[in-house]
Amino acid sequence: MKLVILDRDGVINHDSDQFIKSPEEWRPIPGSLEAIARLSQWGYRVVVATNQSGIGRGLFDMDALNAIHDRMLKAVALAGGRIDSIFFCPHAADSTCECRKPRPGMLREVAQRYSTDLKDVPAVGDSLRDLQAAAAVGAQPILVLTGKGARTREHPDLPRGTLVFPDLAAAAAHIAA
């Protein structure tokens, strides 16, 4: 099975320091929906794994998160693609949970759900914690320079072997090559 794991904010949609709290605030990054569509059409199962500490902080609730994800799923479908599942950590940043990236719990859950080893599975993110979680499970960390990516690129703790692309469209083209 071909699998790809995507972070949400800063990879698929524009990020916000004030959090994405409603469907109206969810705006796709140009080219990201088409990139997901291409991955789907090339036979990849596309999975989203996203920290959503705004829930734990009380900034929005599960109904709002579900509405945001519904908007994203519909937008991807309109572009001809499909997101197979969405995994999220609802806990605040100070939580000691195992699911909040950079901890690998959420990605281990992906591996369990799909009964697969994540070794060399492409995991695309824009922040250091996305890449660290990927590296912790043996996935291929891929940094996109959208969202926080341009700042992340210079981080001294970037996992060894991290691939860097300008955006999800370029990363998808590499994944499929």
- Active site members: 7, 9
CA 123 to chain centre: 7
Place of tokens 């695309």: 124
Torsions phi, psi for 152 (to 5 deg): -65, -35
Q: Residue 45 pairs with which residues in a beta bridge?
A: 3
* Preceding amide of 159 cis, omega within 30: no
Rg (the chain; Cα; Å):
15
Task: Beginning with the edge strand found earlier in the chain, give each strand of the sheet holding 2-6 in spatial order.
Answer: 85-89, 44-51, 2-6, 122-125, 140-144, 163-165
